[in-house]
């Protein structure tokens, strides 16, 4: 048995608990909702925070688009960036920004802070070709001098804490996350988040939680571990293997945004709380849809909601609820909001009635 397995067994047996995380002046619970493009909309972040997530990060906000939107320009891209940065009803409000020009990143950070952000995260981990092709995201891990200049520009522009999200490195030959983390700390970053894969891995294979440990050993600021955390017990294993102070949950939160709060509770108390009732699940899904319709309008709101609706249906089915196949198809294809609300009610109906009986 290796030392990490021994540590994990000891931790699980002891019921040890994880302390809140201090990020600058913020003190937050040790489980976060990851920033995910096209996913972590305002509604999802509100729900995750209400169920107890320590932080719920916005979708990635492109620095150039956001700065233009603030000046009344920027067209569709600017309007979309402004929507991604909304934080009404989310506190603390964490916004992720991306870009490759120090001046533009600094200006965007100032604008986001002025709009109410309590924490600003710099994206240095996104592997998407369109982001990397613009010399942003994980491309910045190929030029640590430039990455440090970006961090210095952002931390120098705002008073709120700044975090940096990265990967282990560009590829297996350049796993330089410990060095980037050291530079981030030196430039004033208050926290780093590490996804346990290289950029060249994208999302293939399994995240390497043990490989995050050298980052934790390199800095004094909190390190957050990210990648393949699917449950509260996964989170505990992730923290044991990595030495990180908090767990970040991404794709596993689709269809069950409450899982981040469930994870925070487990880490803080050493035991799992009962999951949300079926009535609470139904109301969360309906709230999610209603918020998207309000923000984006009926047509665009329904289109944006489809990935979430499919995920809510899949999670419900795994838990013994769900819809028949034709109804599930209508749930994600209908262009009638009233019909979708009715289908959401049916999705949770039998289990909700059983709870009430």
- Give the chain's largest Cα–Cα span: 63
229 in catalytic set: no
Closest CA to 184 of 124, 226, 225: 124
Alpha-helical (H) ranges within 59-218 are 63-70, 75-84, 102-114, 129-132, 144-157, 177-186, 213-218
100, 126, 216, 291: the active-site residue:
126
Closest CA to 221 of 254, 189, 195: 189
The CA distance from 175 to 141, in Å, is 9
- Count of CB atoms situated within 10 Å of the CB of 186: 12
Q: Is 78:69 a contact under the CB 8 Å cutoff?
A: yes
Q: Which residues are registered as beta bridge partners of 225?
A: 194, 247
- Counting beta carbons within 10 angstroms of the beta carbon of residue 46, is it exposed (0 to 12), middle (13 to 18) or buried (19 or more)? buried
> What letter would DSSP give residue 126?
-
Rounded to 10 degrees, the C-alpha dihedral 172/177/183/186 comes to -160
**Active-site residue list:** 126
């Amino acid at each position: 048995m290796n030392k990490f397995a021994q540590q994990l067994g000891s931790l699980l047996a002891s019921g040890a608990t994880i302390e809140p995380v201090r990020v600058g002046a913020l003190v937050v619970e040790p489980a976060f909702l990851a920033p995910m493009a096209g996913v972590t909309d305002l509604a999802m972040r509100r729900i995750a925070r209400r169920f107890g997530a320590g932080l719920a990060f916005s979708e990635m906000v492109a620095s150039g688009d956001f700065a233009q939107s603030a000046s009344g320009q920027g067209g569709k891209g600017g309007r979309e960036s402004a929507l991604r940065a909304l934080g009404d009803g989310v506190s603390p409000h964490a916004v992720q920004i991306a870009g490759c020009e120090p001046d533009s990143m600094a200006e965007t950070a100032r604008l986001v802070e002025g709009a109410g952000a309590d924490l600003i995260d710099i994206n240095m981990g996104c592997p998407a070709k369109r982001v990397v092709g613009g010399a942003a995201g994980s491309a910045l891990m190929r030029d640590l001098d430039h990455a440090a200049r970006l961090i210095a520009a952002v931390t120098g522009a705002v008073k709120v804490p700044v975090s940096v999200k990265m990967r282990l490195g560009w590829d297996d030959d350049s796993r330089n996350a410990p060095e980037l983390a050291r530079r981030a700390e030196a430039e004033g970053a208050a926290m780093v988040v590490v996804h346990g894969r290289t950029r060249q891995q994208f999302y293939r294979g399994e995240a390497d939680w043990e490989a995050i440990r050298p980052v934790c050993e390199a800095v004094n600021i909190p390190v957050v571990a990210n990648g393949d955390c699917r449950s509260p017990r996964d989170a505990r294993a992730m923290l044991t293997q990595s030495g990180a102070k908090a767990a970040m949950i991404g794709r596993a939160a689709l269809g069950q945004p409450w899982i981040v709060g469930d994870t925070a509770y487990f880490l803080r108390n050493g035991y799992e709380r009962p999951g949300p009732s079926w009535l609470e699940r139904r109301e969360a899904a309906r709230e999610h849809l209603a918020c998207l319709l309000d923000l984006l309008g009926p047509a665009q709101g329904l289109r944006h909601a489809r990935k979430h609706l499919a995920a809510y249906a899949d999670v419900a089915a795994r838990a013994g609820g769900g819809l028949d196949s034709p109804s599930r198809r209508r749930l994600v294809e209908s262009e009638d909001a009233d019909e979708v609300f009715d289908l959401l009610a049916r999705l949770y109906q039998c289990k909700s009635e059983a709870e009430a009986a």
